[in-house]
Amino acid sequence: MQPHAAEGRYLERQIAYARPIFLTLALVDLFEGPSSLRGHHAVAFIAAYLGISLLIVAVDNLRGVYIPPLPLGADIIALSVFLLLTPSVIAFLFVYLFVALAAGTRWGLRKSVVLAGAATLALLLRAVLRGTVDLPSVLSLLALTVGTFSAGIGLAIASARSGRVNPTALEAGNSTVESISSDASSEGISILQRAPSLP
């Protein structure tokens, strides 16, 4: 397996393992709230989403079985649907933070900033449409906007840096290995040439 392929495979596994963790936190938040504000469709949706993510992890651990990773577009669609279903901002933030993490790993920082801005704007619009507009609510919305965007950008930066592959370093490492192998082969040949021949 090539270094780039091995690195990509490792990062995809980290995303697959992180997905059920964030979804579990979102599901726990939904059950901690009052049943009247829980949103039964939101619970069913996040539970199904969690079941699919656990199935992906389980299949990934089977030897000889490979399934392609869940596309980031599917996670973004799930995030959008969950925003419409759930009354809980905290539960949405857990799913949003996972999407920001996956986007930073797969897309890099620039596209992740756009995604974080779009998700923050959507959350802000939903909060405005469902609430009253007065000074305390405006301050709360401002804090929600800044916190949501900053958290998404922070996770995107961390994942983008951890997922970055340095081609120069890889080429230097490959050149070093080839040089060592070449020197070892030359030394071995010279030793064999100096060795006395058997009768």
Q: How confident is the model at residue 181 (pLDDT cuts 50, 70, 90)?
A: very low
CA gap 106, 71 in Å, rounded: 10
Query: For residues 93 and 195, which has the higher predicted lDDT (pLDDT)?
Result: 93
Predicted confidence (pLDDT) at residue 106 exceeds the cutoff of 70: yes
Query: Can you give the pLDDT at residue 73?
Result: 92
What's the pTM?
A: 0.70
pLDDT tens-place string over residues 73-105: 999 999 999 999 988 888 898 999 899 888 888
pLDDT tens-place string over residues 12-67: 888 989 999 999 999 998 988 777 777 789 999 999 999 999 998 888 888 667 77
Query: Can you give the pLDDT at residue 153?
Result: 79
Query: Can you give the pLDDT at residue 135?
Result: 54
37: region left, alpha or beta (phi > 0 left; psi from -120 to 50 alpha): alpha
Shortest CA distance to 151 belongs to which of 107, 111, 104? Answer: 104
Q: Which amino acid is at 165?
A: V
Query: Can you give the pLDDT at residue 168?
Result: 41
Predicted confidence (pLDDT) at residue 127 exceeds the cutoff of 70: yes
**What are the residue ranges of helices labelled H in 33-166?**
40-60, 72-85, 89-106, 109-130, 135-162
Mean pLDDT of 168-196: 41
CA gap 25, 78 in Å, rounded: 16
List the domain boundaries for the chain.
3-165
CA gap 155, 161 in Å, rounded: 10
Query: Can you give the pLDDT at residue 151?
Result: 77
Q: Which residues contact residue 154 at a Cβ distance below 8 angstroms, ignoring those fewer than 6 apart? A: none
Q: How confident is the model at residue 131 (pLDDT cuts 50, 70, 90)?
A: low
Cβ contact 82:46 at 8 Å: yes
CA gap 113, 30 in Å, rounded: 27
